Amino acid sequence: VATCPNGVRLGAHLVASGALSEDGLYEALSFQQGLPRIQIQPDEVAEHVVRALPESVARTWRVMPFKIEEGGLLVACPELPSLEMTTALSGHTSLEIRFHLVTPAEYETLADAFAWHAARTRVHPRGLNRLWLTGAAPVVSRPRSPCE
């Protein structure tokens, strides 16, 4: 703790110094905050569940809906949920939002697998509108991860 530079998150410092793995950090955050830690694979998530929240909201808050059960929408996120995040997400669903921690790398794997962040409508060369997938993800402002 004494070696942590000003303005650097303690978790990020511990991971960067090799004193703690990113997974270890998220296990500790899970325990400390009472949030479940999940390691989920893209093939375990149904596309219709991913679309339970609007794309722009999911991108802004870096959340990935992964399951609907017992009146709740389970979302994976690499950030500890704030009241602001919870309020923003709750405004888009009648389901109770239930947060689960994932590492930033795990979140990116999920986001890349669904490529919803890359979908764009373009004009077909013959003038027909079609949905084409692009490989470029837009740059968005997002909350910082504890590991950045």
pLDDT in tens, 26-52: 999 999 999 999 999 999 999 889 999
Distance between CA atoms of residues 26 and 106, nearest Å: 11
Report pLDDT for 100: 97
More confident call, 34 vs 116: 34
pLDDT attached to residue 126: 39
Three-class DSSP labels, 86-139: HHHHHCCCCCEEEEEECCHHHHHHHHHHHCHHHEEEEECCCCCEEEEECCCCCC
**For residue 93, what pLDDT is reported?**
94
Q: What is the pLDDT of residue 116?
A: 54
Mean pLDDT of the chain: 80
Residue 97: its pLDDT value, please?
A: 97
